[in-house]
Chains A and B, each alone.
Chain A
Amino acid sequence: MSTTLESRLAALRGSAPPRPMDARTLAALAANPGCGRRALLDAAGVDKGAVAEHLGRPAPFGQSQFSIVRGNAFEARVKADGCAELLRLLCERLGLPAPDEAALPDLSAVGPAGRAERTRQALEEATAAGGWSLLDHPMLRLEVAGSAVHLEPDAVVVRPDGRWTVVEIKSFPILDGCADPAKVGAAARQSAVYVLALRALAERIGRGEPEHTVVLVCPKDFSNLPTCAAVDVRKQLSVTVRQLTRLTRVEDIVSELPEGTTFDLALDDDRRTPRRPVEELAAAVDAVPAAYAPDCLSVCELAFHCRARAHECGAVEALGRGVRGELGALASVDEVLAAAAAGLGGAWQADGEGSAPAEHVSGGGCGVGGGTDAHGYAEDGGDFGGGDFGGGDFSGGDRRDFGDDAVTWRLREAARLRAEALAGTAAGGRA
């Protein structure tokens, strides 16, 4: 990372200590690769939760101490007695006899970079030694969008044949052999990030073979006995690789920002109370382009803020990521409603003022013939009705253009059919 970029990122973060990215944030980042806002704030190590809080829209989620306690207790149990139980489970899953002994190298070192270096050494030695080793909370490094990220899997097992397996310990249950697919999916995306980092490391040191099958260790049924499942993360790997390379280069985003932009909260002397004027902070956040979708609500601390902004500009994605697909170039709710309004004989107005609810539109929308472009929708109003469905009611010029025109046609039809049904004049249904 160039020093200028580094210093710009530091300036963006301001006085707060950097907040390191981890596999969870990376997995979430990969879930919304189009979002420059998140990419930048994460790369700069900004505490998004604190920013959201100061903006008056705190994160829509949190973690209960009950689940934290439970998670820690389960992991401690799984790793008790020098991970004996963990190794036994793993070997059982891999169909191998349990080893009499496995090395448990000491990975402690100062700082994440130091620990990453120690992990590299340990992996190199363990692979060369050709026996079983279990690395408890190793530290891995991955370059993401120009910055270094440190990652800490629950464990990595080195096998005598030089293969490396990522182990993740989760506290959701595997019930009758099945686990919550959403949770398994999240764990798989997270593990894929670890595999990616291991691959990079294996390449650097020229030995070791990271496996694309990871092992999930979870409580069995309603007990706290561990059980494990092998999860093939090849799909998540390729998705993550693709998303990470697509991640808007942080450098490009930074260069677009106005000089002096910062997300500093200007903490008071008590190191807790933010003094930054809220409008100023909001302006800084909004200067970075975002890509809000409802999924953000479960993964990103800024979701309530971005949602409010998306609503303000009437972005259709606020209704669901898939919504855009059918709407072509129409990006705002007003545009869509205006385009659809032509299907109602123009009774709807784009600005919503004085608009009549659809069911009160006289004529029920059936008699739109010829009237389509009479209400200021001339730019595309006249382009429908000819062509392959001539004789239909959208009389006008030849229909040459598909794409956006087809979108508008479908919208109008949707509006017409909906209004007709609501007005009780539609054929079909209870007719």
Chain B
Amino acid sequence: MSLIATLARMEALREGRARPLATVRHRHLSERPMVFVPLTTAGEAGAPLGALFGTDREEPTLLVVPQPRDRDLRFAFLAQLAQGMLPYLEGYADDVDVEVRKGKDPETGEPVEVERELCRDAPQLLVPNGSGVRYVRLLGRSMRFRRTAEEAPDEPYPVPSRVPLLGRWMTHFGERALTPGSCLLVSMTDLLSRHWASGQSGLEDQHLGALLAWLDPPPGVHGSEAALRAETARDERGLLECPPAGPATDPAFDNKLLAPAITRYDAGLSGAERAVRDLVGSQLRPTWDHVWRGLDLLRELPPGDRVAARWEGDRWSYTGHRDRLRAGEPPQPKRDDAVTAAAKLVRRETDQVRLDAHEALDDPLVMAERRLAGEAFAGEVVAVEMAYSEGRSPRPRPLVSVSTHDRPHVEPGTRVFRRLAGKAQEAQVAAAEPGLVVVRLVNQMGRGRVPAEGTVPEPGDVVCLTAFEHDPRPAAPLPPPEETPWTHGGPPGEAAMGASAPDPHTAEDYL
């Protein structure tokens, strides 16, 4: 946590409500996101208990597994989930822009024009918290290697059709969520805590109800009190009024109500299924409402300038997965081979650096953190002295003196950048002393001997220079290497093939 964020948390504590950590919205929000609130069975891996999902705030779809240890009931749940979700997930696949790029013919090497489709928009899956994101990944893993009766007639426990497909989509979304700043699958707690500081720790922020209590406490109530209420208040049955946002359930709920209700279901009592359904629904609904409330709050923030460009990366990712499915590729491997894994890691590191740069450029509050860290500085131009490069056709290399309160970690020779008409203008530090930095501008001043109008700041202007690059990655929005379909030259990898074998079965149900 940066010192500025720490201060913000302390302000929140003192004022009794959350304080801003950003002045713009740094994440893309779909106009029609799908909210997915899953619940899982305690102690079991991948045995869903139920879920609320949908794109309509007023009418979520409720799915419940009345006995999570029953394989048939779980499969039925997954089938219904696939039926409900796939139309949304696949619904953006056919609305495309066609990009024409220069490329090479793979056989002759002749330059040719290559057409590539890019989906104009993409689906967005919103879950309540970080464990929700991990659960999507887990569900994806549990489904994608299953086989349907059509695919494998000998399969002893075939899943209903389309379940493996949902598994592959969920896997893709779960994988994409590891990319910093990506928005195909995001958690509400991450979104909210990126933009506001509560008066509690990051750990406590994982409780969506408590985090919202800080953002939006009832009138006259201090955030910490409202958050405590969200964490602990119980009704007369002993149930949390604001149940945890899942996928884990409240143990008291399991022990006092769910377990007896499931026992009644097992005994075949009439109305028992309905009772389990109502119980699970009662635990999901508050979280469902919270996710939408969070969305309301986020929508009040204006989007940052670079958010749309980052969303384009998500659209490429979506399109790439669409292409892989269409090309009939096998499911994503269980584990990446070493090369792919390393490539992904490097890729995510660059993405993080790039995201950090973009957020700072979009938002003075984020830039403030970089300034405090000595990675950028801002101040008033106090002098501009014209100078030229040496050589036969001298180019303008004006010296700009900036008076600053910041203490940047720069020394003569350090490359620094400032924003100029949507581009980065580069400069070199010529001298740095406390309170004053002199930089030499080196580009973006036009072709002539005289700098183009407006390309050199004037005394009295306020400028902000960063010691980090503004766009530390080639701008071409190509899909990351791991997402390049085979049909577009991406290697499937040897290991990938062997690693996609279906899971073994045991005759007894595995729970």
Tell me which of B3, B10, B363 contacts A333 (CB under 8 A).
B10
Contact check, A336 vs B407: say whether CB atoms are below 8 A apart: no
Contact check, B510 vs A223: say whether CB atoms are below 8 A apart: yes
Report how far A308 CA is from B429 CA in the complex, Å: 51
Q: Which residue of chain A is the closest to B365 with respect to CB atoms?
A: A421
Which of A41-49, A99-107, A111-119, A412-420 is the interface stretch? A412-420
Inter-chain contacts of B369 with A (CB < 8 A): 417
Contact check, A429 vs B14: say whether CB atoms are below 8 A apart: no
Tell me which of A60, A224, A327, A416 contacts B405 (CB under 8 A).
A416
Query: Does B11 touch A at the CB level, under 8 Å?
Result: yes
Tell me which of A294, A318, A410, A422 contacts B3 (CB under 8 A).
A410
Query: Does A424 touch B at the CB level, under 8 Å?
Result: yes
Q: Which residue of chain B is the closest to A67 with respect to CB atoms?
A: B43
Q: What per-residue 1/0 map shows which CB atoms of B271-294 lie under 8 Å from chain A?
A: 000000000000000000000000
Tell me which of A65, A224, A413, A420 contacts B511 (CB under 8 A).
A224
Report how far A417 CA is from B365 CA in the complex, Å: 8
Q: What per-residue 1/0 map shows which CB atoms of A34-67 lie under 8 Å from chain B?
A: 0000000000000000000000011011111111
Interface size on A, residues (CB 8 A): 75
Inter-chain contacts of B469 with A (CB < 8 A): none
Report how far A415 CA is from B369 CA in the complex, Å: 11
The smallest beta-carbon distance between B119 and chain A, in angstroms, is 29
Contact check, A418 vs B8: say whether CB atoms are below 8 A apart: yes
Q: What per-residue 1/0 map shows which CB atoms of B417-450 lie under 8 Å from chain A?
A: 0010000000000000111100000000000000
Report how far A427 CA is from B418 CA in the complex, Å: 11
Query: Does A295 touch B at the CB level, under 8 Å?
Result: yes
Contact check, B255 vs A431: say whether CB atoms are below 8 A apart: no
Query: Does B172 touch A at the CB level, under 8 Å?
Result: no
Query: Does A337 touch B at the CB level, under 8 Å?
Result: yes
Inter-chain contacts of B436 with A (CB < 8 A): 391
Contact check, A417 vs B362: say whether CB atoms are below 8 A apart: no
Which of A69, A219, A418, A426 has its CB near the most chain B CB atoms (within 10 A)? A418
Contact check, A388 vs B434: say whether CB atoms are below 8 A apart: yes
376-392 of chain A: CB within 8 A of chain B: 388-392
257-271 of chain B: CB within 8 A of chain A: 259
The smallest beta-carbon distance between B206 and chain A, in angstroms, is 10
Q: What per-residue 1/0 map shows which CB atoms of B236-266 lie under 8 Å from chain A?
A: 0000000000000111101100010000000
Contact check, B202 vs A320: say whether CB atoms are below 8 A apart: yes
Q: Which residue of chain A is the closest to B21 with respect to CB atoms?
A: A418
Report how far A339 CA is from B252 CA in the complex, Å: 44
Contact check, B4 vs A414: say whether CB atoms are below 8 A apart: yes
Query: Does A304 touch B at the CB level, under 8 Å?
Result: yes
Query: Does A225 touch B at the CB level, under 8 Å?
Result: yes
Report how far A295 CA is from B204 CA in the complex, Å: 10
Interface size on B, residues (CB 8 A): 76
Inter-chain contacts of B4 with A (CB < 8 A): 414, 417-418
Query: Does A331 touch B at the CB level, under 8 Å?
Result: no
Q: What per-residue 1/0 map shows which CB atoms of B216-232 lie under 8 Å from chain A?
A: 00000000100000011
Contact check, A431 vs B462: say whether CB atoms are below 8 A apart: yes
Query: Does B368 touch A at the CB level, under 8 Å?
Result: yes
Which of A90-98, A136-144, A173-181 is the interface stretch? A173-181
The smallest beta-carbon distance between B157 and chain A, in angstroms, is 12
Query: Does B147 touch A at the CB level, under 8 Å?
Result: no
Q: Which residue of chain B is the closest to A69 with respect to CB atoms?
A: B43
Report how far A175 CA is from B45 CA in the complex, Å: 9
Query: Does B334 touch A at the CB level, under 8 Å?
Result: yes
Tell me which of A366, A391, A415 contacts B435 (CB under 8 A).
A391
Inter-chain contacts of B368 with A (CB < 8 A): 414, 417-418, 420-421, 426, 428
Query: Does A286 touch B at the CB level, under 8 Å?
Result: no
Inter-chain contacts of B361 with A (CB < 8 A): 428-430
Inter-chain contacts of B365 with A (CB < 8 A): 418, 421-422, 426, 429
Tell me which of B42, B200, B259, B362 contacts A429 (CB under 8 A).
B362
Contact check, A297 vs B379: say whether CB atoms are below 8 A apart: no
Report how far A221 CA is from B200 CA in the complex, Å: 36
The smallest beta-carbon distance between B487 and chain A, in angstroms, is 27
Inter-chain contacts of B511 with A (CB < 8 A): 70, 224
Contact check, B367 vs A421: say whether CB atoms are below 8 A apart: yes
Given contacts A297-B203, A393-B405, contact A333 B141 (CB under 8 A): no
Query: Does A148 touch B at the CB level, under 8 Å?
Result: no
Besides A417-B4, A428-B376, 12 more A-B contacts (Cβ < 8 Å) are A62-B251, A64-B42, A64-B43, A67-B43, A70-B43, A311-B224, A391-B435, A424-B364, A426-B368, A429-B363, A430-B364, A431-B462
| B residues neighboring A (CB under 8 Å) | 1, 3-4, 6-11, 13-15, 20, 23-24, 41-46, 138, 141-142, 199-204, 224, 231-232, 249-252, 254-255, 259, 305, 334-335, 360-369, 371-372, 376, 378-379, 405-407, 419, 433-436, 462-464, 466, 503-506, 510-511
Give 22 A-B contacts (CB < 8 Å), ordered by A residue. A175-B138, A219-B45, A222-B510, A223-B503, A224-B506, A295-B203, A319-B200, A326-B3, A336-B10, A355-B14, A366-B405, A389-B407, A392-B405, A414-B4, A414-B7, A418-B7, A421-B364, A422-B23, A427-B364, A429-B360, A429-B363, A430-B305
For the complex of A and B, 7 pairs with smallest distance between CB atoms: A67-B43, A429-B364, A428-B464, A427-B378, A64-B42, A70-B43, A62-B251
